[in-house]
Structures are given as structure tokens and as C-alpha cells.
Amino acid sequence: MRSRFVAYKLDETAYIKSTWHSSTRPEEINSDSTLAWTHLEIIDAPSVPVKSVDAYVEFKAWFIQSGVLGHMHERSRFVLENERWFYIDGEQYETTESLKSIKPGRNDPCFCGSGKKYKKCCGKN
């Protein structure tokens, strides 16, 4: 899960495709240049029994789009094949929190976690 998040953050579509199971993988993965992924919050990743071939990870992936902080909340399903985990699909959760956008003031700390003020970091134009 973490490696896929980093691949999205770095726009590494080849890696994203290689970790997506062939049964559900789209033909193309389009990137969005207006979206900047900031951090990943793992909510639940239960231990997988030794002989299990599928697993679930619940997470929130935070992003900035048009200067506004948002997040995607999903429970992803993975399958083990040839000693590798592949993403199958996910159930996205819609909550009032995920629909609410948060835009910091210019002098507020940046929400990406850099430690800089928003105006000197993600608020630059």
C-alpha cells in the first residue's frame, strides 16, 4: 500500500500498473497534474494469516488540489500471487469530513507537514 501511494505521489504509472492485478487493471492510468498527494494515513491493516491469499488495508490518502486540502478514504483489497501482492479493488468511504475542504491561511503551517508556512510551501503560485 505504501509503495503504491509513493508511486502515485511521484507519478510512476508503470509501477502502479505493475502492482494492479490484471483482472481489474485499467488500460490506461491518467495522472492529474492539479493533484499533489501529501501523506498516507493507514487506519487498519489486519495481520494476514499465513495461508491467506487476500488482505485488506483501510487508509486515508491526503492531497492538495487547487490549494485545498482533501483526502480519499478507502478500504483496498489485495491478492497474493506468485509471492507478490496485487491491488484488486477498493471500497471508497464518503463522509462529511471527506467532503469538507480545508484551506489554511497564508501564515498557517503548511498541511503537507514540511514545517514551512503555507505561503512558502504549497501555497506558492
- The domain limits of the chain are 2-100
* Amino acid of residue 101: S
Give pTM, 2 decimals: 0.75
125 residues of the chain, pLDDT tens digit each: 899 999 999 999 999 999 999 999 999 988 888 888 988 999 998 887 777 889 999 999 988 887 778 888 999 999 999 989 999 999 999 865 544 456 677 788 877 777 888 788 877 76
Cα separation, 86 vs 77, in Å, equals 9
Cα separation, 87 vs 65, in Å, equals 25
Q: What confidence score (pLDDT) does residue 99 get?
A: 42
Q: What confidence score (pLDDT) does residue 100 get?
A: 47
CA angle, 9 then 15 then 20, to 5°: 105
Q: What confidence score (pLDDT) does residue 117 get?
A: 86
Provide CATH code, domain 2-100.
3.10.450.50
Q: What confidence score (pLDDT) does residue 97 get?
A: 54
